[in-house]
Amino acid sequence: MSAISYTDAPVRVRDDLVASHRRAWERLARPGTWWSGSERVAMAAEVRNAAGCPFCRERKAALSPHVVSGSHASLGALSDAAVEVIHQVTADPARVSKAWFEKCQAGGLSDAHYVEMIGVIVTVVSIDSFCRGIGVPAPPLPAPEPGEPTRRRPSAARPERAWVPMIPASDARGEEADLWARSRTGNVIRALSLVPDEVRGLKDLSATHYLSMDEMMDLRRGKGTLNRSQVELIAGRVSALNECFY
């Protein structure tokens, strides 16, 4: 597999960022917890394909996405339910709802398959967004690795107010003890905890793109050339543009 490289970029990319992107691509190619390596890479390809989907464009322009009928322009490697999740979360995340989520589950996606899929989607979205920001083409997707998913569901995960079960803040123990320390976590970290490896991937990317969990607690801490106010302004503006309440 050829590793991600930004040597042709017009700006020098920090070594820690390059390394975390390479690790993300390695994780993407490997069999996950519920999906094979081939399926994970197919999901990544579908994320990129969503940008050119006429149905997604039409739905996003509509007052309500539910009033538009049609089907996604998909690459054909995944089920309709999987394609719907990938396209909707990639192209119009602000308008997903609990009813939509339940419909996706009824279409054959288990909660754990769904959570892992979200982990794959957001990995590709964020690395591609970074490339767009600095002005380089998105890196080629990795070749999938053979092997079987582990199909391991953490026993501590349980339903809360969120749509998907999560590991309670105080219950990251045993094999999940590394997910967060001493209950110091947030719902957005716990959101993917039904698939602990996706939390590990999220933490790895967030630590280089933004701040590690420990750094986050220190309000004087910035990132590289940016002070904390600048970092949080960018974070807040991106969240508002995406109409994210969280």
Q: Which of residues 25-54 bind other proteins (CB under 8 A)?
A: 51
Minimum gap (Å) between residue 142 Cβ and other proteins: 18
- Exactly one of 97, 150, 155, 170 binds other proteins (CB under 8 A); which one? 97
State how far the alpha carbon of 167 is from the alpha carbons of 110, 157, 158, 174, 181, in Å: 17, 4, 6, 12, 13
> What does the block give as tokens for 197?
């490896």
Give the footprint of other proteins on residues 110-169 (CB under 8 A).
115, 118, 121-123, 125-127, 129-130, 132-135, 161-164, 166
**Closer residue to other proteins, CB minimum distance, 11 or 148:** 11
**Closer residue to other proteins, CB minimum distance, 41 or 166:** 166
Give the footprint of other proteins on residues 165-184 (CB under 8 A).
166
Rounded CA-CA distance 178/159 in Å is 21
Does the footprint of other proteins cover residue 226 (CB under 8 A)?
yes
- Exactly one of 1, 61, 143, 234 binds other proteins (CB under 8 A); which one? 234
State how far the alpha carbon of 189 is from the alpha carbons of 135, 140, 151, 199, 243, in Å: 29, 27, 21, 6, 19
Does the footprint of other proteins cover residue 187 (CB under 8 A)?
yes
Rounded CA-CA distance 107/97 in Å is 15
The pattern of x and - marking residues 57 through 96 that bind other proteins according to CB under 8 A reads ----------------------------x---xx--xxxx
Instruction: Please count the CA atoms within 13 angstroms of the CA of 244 that sit on its side-chain side.
Output: 12
